[in-house]
């Protein structure tokens, strides 16, 4: 199995080539293995091109945190930080 950084590199290459659906599949795999991987979330944000895309990403973040991340104050803080970053990016769309 490829290392996470190799998967992230490949996803970023695909994003650069606008092969978004392929990149998304790789990012989903990275987040399945490491749901708090900020590099993967940042790459996911680069896939968002519309307000609707960003709204969908916010919903996905909530889903991941509810199903794959254990509770804890610092984890909730990370989720809030991630959602704030999505909101900031949405302003530029």
Tell me which residue range forms the domain holding 70: 4-91
pTM comes to 0.80
Question: CATH no. for residue 73?
Answer: 1.25.40
Report pLDDT digits (tens) over 11-20. Answer: 999 999 999 9
Domain count, the chain: 1
**What is the C-alpha to C-alpha distance for residues 31 and 71, in angstroms, rounded to an integer?**
17
12 φ/ψ angles, rounded to the nearest 5 degrees: -65, -35
Report pLDDT digits (tens) over 41-87. Answer: 999 999 999 999 999 999 999 898 888 776 655 567 788 889 988 99
């Amino acid at each position: 199995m490829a290392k996470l950084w190799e998967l992230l590199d490949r996803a970023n290459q695909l994003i650069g080539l606008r092969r978004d659906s392929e990149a998304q599949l790789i990012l989903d795999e990275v987040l399945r293995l490491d749901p708090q991987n900020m590099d993967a979330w940042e790459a996911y944000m680069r896939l968002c091109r519309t307000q609707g895309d960003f709204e969908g990403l916010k919903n996905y973040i909530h889903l991941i945190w509810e199903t794959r991340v254990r509770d804890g104050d610092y984890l909730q803080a990370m989720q809030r930080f991630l959602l704030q970053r999505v909101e900031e990016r949405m302003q530029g769309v």
